[in-house]
Amino acid sequence: MQPNLVKMSTKVDILAFGVHPDDVELGCSGTIIASVAQGKKVAVVDLTQGELGTRGTIETRKTEAADAARIMGVSYRENLKMADGFFQIDETNTRKVIAAIRKYQPDIVLCNALEDRHPDHGRSSQLVEEAAFLAGLRKIETEVDGVPQEAWRPAYVFHYIQDRYLKPDFVFDISGYMDQKIKAVQAYTTQFYTSAAPDSDEPQTYISTPDFLETVKARALMLGKRIGVKYAEGYLTKKMIGVAEFNAFVQQTT
């Protein structure tokens, strides 16, 4: 007899994964904020607690992630508590991601860059992409609170661009949401510069200077210019995207 499968009330349209708390904010929060404004339901799953970060603590990152989630307007956020810097693409971690995908049943998954300055980014990208496929195999069994989950495979997995520039396969217009994106990033007050708290006793890092946030804005300006809008975020996809009508394309300005 087929077991009773979990019918989740937590289904979302978009599930965004970040290996560290603040990856989603830096890479795709403009897309998330715009999608929420369009009526989409979004969840965020962080793979690690960012415990190896030079500045801040697990506790401060948890509070900051919750603050950023409110700014982005996401419906759910959780942390899988894998080992920052040392997590592996193994069965245990793959099953954790499979369970998260089945829990939220997204149509679209957003995740880390295919390769990047931080080695965790590319590794987590592979982990999530593999789990997204395996989540659709019904013979792989997972459960929530002792109740079996239903198999679920998202239609698309898109990889957001992070530190290194990677030529995007498509870009998402975030022109009306750039200020809110920066606010979501600056919710991580231990990690990034804010005018409200410019000084810190902790060591200066690559991402804690005022100039770093300017590079985030500059990237969005550059990608926006490519489609004739002010700001955009870029994505890579291994699966070809198809359209049924030309109205699906963004109208470029002349």
Q: Is the pLDDT of residue 8 over 90?
A: no
Lowest average pLDDT, out of 25-29, 35-39, 157-161, 198-202, goes to 198-202
Of 173, 238, 207, the closest CA to residue 30 belongs to 173
Identify the residue with better confidence: 4 or 62: 62
The CATH number linked to 196 is 3.40.50.10320
Q: Which residues pair with 233 in a beta bridge?
A: 172
What's the confidence (pLDDT) of residue 223?
97
Give the pLDDT band of residue 174 (cuts 50, 70, 90). very high
Q: What pLDDT sits at residue 5? A: 47
Count of domains observed in the chain: 1
Q: For residue 7, is it within any domain? A: no
Taking alpha carbons only, the member of 197, 193, 190 closest to residue 209 is 193
pLDDT band at 3 (very low <50, low <70, confident <90, very high): very low
Q: Is residue 3 part of a domain?
A: no
Q: What is the pLDDT of residues 130-140, one digit of tens each?
A: 999 999 999 99
Supply the range of the domain harboring residue 115.
14-248
The per-residue pLDDT for 207 is 77
Q: What is the pLDDT of residue 195?
A: 54
pLDDT digits (tens, 9 = 90+) for 180-211: 999 999 999 888 876 545 556 777 777 778 88
Q: What is the mean pLDDT of residues 66-93?
A: 98
Q: CA–CA separation, 123 vs 139, rounded Å?
A: 25
**Number of separate helices (H) and strands (E) present in the chain:** 6, 9
- The set of residues, in sequence order, having a beta carbon less than 8 Å from that of 180 and lying 6+ positions away, is 29, 30, 33, 71, 72
Q: Hey, what are 252's tokens?
A: 């470029």
- Which residue, 48, 161, 162, is CA-closest to 97? 48
